[in-house]
């Protein structure tokens, strides 16, 4: 396990946090689960069928749209007028069985003081399926998905602003957990604690084809903490801030 922090003094700053916000894919579950690659295959298939492209050209265009627009969906909506709900239904029709209950994460989530949200560039349906398989769905107050964001993905400031207004979150009293560094720059600018969740160096789970630009920002000043063990990081935070141990029925919240 690798948890990169500046010491207990820095973790103590989480004592003022009353809202905990988590990205979904490759954050609440490890990249080694290889769930998101299923979605990437579905996205490429969608692009290939839509534009009559072979697999290589479809992949290249999908990555191009992802980089330019923040999500493949946004690119397809802008460039080709794709109906977003059709796209979301297709790409999230995957096999979630690789996910198993994460009781350690569930217990840590149950002990976090205040409210907890999932903020994802996917759909609520996909988020619910993932959280259900992890047995953590009952620990979240709500899901803010790409539909709620009017299909404008992170890290757009207007999306975070919409999220805060809809939920009543005060960003200076909130923490954000993400697997993509660039999505933490905006929340950090508004005062959120930021935690980057990365794959363990030794598990080989990071996609070797991941472009360099997706790895950029991991050492940026807007990253407050880095961890490759989300549950372990939350346990350390809870220990430092003195959060009470869970009641016997805490995981059934």
**What confidence tens digit (pLDDT) does each residue in 140-193 have?**
999 999 999 999 999 999 999 999 999 999 999 999 999 999 999 999 999 999
Q: Is the dihedral of CA 155, 35, 65, 122 positive or negative?
A: negative
Structure confidence at residue 243 (pLDDT): 80
Q: What is the mean pLDDT of residues 19-46?
A: 94
Residue 135 clears pLDDT 80, i.e. is over it: yes
CA angle 159, 15, 29 (to 5 degrees): 55
Mark 4-26 as b/e (b = at least 16 C-beta within 10 Å). ebeeeeebebbeebebbbbbbbb
User: Which contacts (CB < 8 Å, 24+ apart) does range 211-220 have?
Assistant: 211/63, 211/67, 213/67, 214/180, 215/181, 216/181, 216/182, 217/181, 217/182, 217/184, 217/185, 218/181, 220/181, 220/185
Q: Is the pLDDT of residue 211 over 70?
A: no
pLDDT band at 251 (very low <50, low <70, confident <90, very high): very low
The pLDDT tens digits of the residues spanning 53-72 come to 999 999 999 999 999 999 99
Given a cut of 70, whether residue 203 has pLDDT beyond it is no
Q: Which domains does the chain have, with CATH numbers?
A: 3-31+100-252 (3.40.50.1000), 36-91 (1.10.150.450)
Buried b (16+ CB within 10 A) or exposed e, 127-154: bebbbebbbbbebbeebbbbebbebbbb
Q: Which residue has the higher pLDDT, 220 or 148?
A: 148
pTM value is: 0.89
Can you say how many angstroms the Cα of residue 233 is from the centroid of all Cα atoms in its chain?
16
Give the per-residue pLDDT at 1. 44
* Cis amide prior to 155 (ω within 30 degrees): yes
Q: pLDDT-derived band of residue 202, with 50, 70 and 90 as boundaries?
A: very low
* Mean pLDDT computed over 228-239: 95
Mean pLDDT computed over every residue of the chain: 89
Task: Judge whether residue 32 has pLDDT over 60.
Answer: yes
Query: Given this model, what pLDDT does residue 193 score?
Result: 96
Calculate what percentage of the chain has a pLDDT beyond 90: 79
């Amino acid at each position: 396990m690798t948890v990169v922090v500046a010491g207990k003094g820095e973790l103590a700053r989480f004592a003022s946090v009353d809202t905990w916000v988590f990205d979904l894919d490759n954050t609440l579950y490890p990249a080694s689960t290889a769930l998101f690659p299923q979605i990437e295959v579905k996205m490429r298939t969608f692009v290939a069928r839509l534009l009559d492209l072979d697999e290589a050209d479809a992949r290249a265009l999908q990555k191009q749209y992802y980089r330019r627009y923040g999500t493949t969906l946004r690119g397809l909506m802008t460039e080709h007028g794709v109906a977003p709900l059709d796209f979301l239904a297709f790409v999230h029709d995957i096999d979630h069985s690789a996910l198993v209950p994460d009781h350690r994460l569930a217990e840590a989530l149950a002990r976090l003081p205040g409210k907890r949200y999932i903020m994802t560039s996917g759909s609520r349906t996909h988020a619910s399926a993932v959280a259900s398989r992890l047995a953590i769905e009952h620990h979240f107050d709500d899901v803010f998905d790409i539909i709620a964001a009017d299909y404008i993905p992170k890290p757009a400031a207007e999306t975070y602003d919409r999220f805060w207004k809809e939920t009543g979150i005060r960003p200076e009293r909130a923490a954000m957990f993400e697997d993509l560094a660039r999505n933490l720059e905006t929340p950090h600018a508004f005062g959120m604690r930021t935690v980057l969740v990365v794959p363990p160096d030794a598990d080989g789970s990071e996609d070797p084809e991941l472009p360099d630009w997706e790895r950029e920002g991991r050492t940026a000043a807007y990253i407050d903490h880095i961890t490759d063990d989300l549950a372990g990081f939350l346990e350390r935070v809870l220990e430092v801030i003195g959060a009470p141990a869970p009641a016997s029925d805490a995981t059934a919240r």
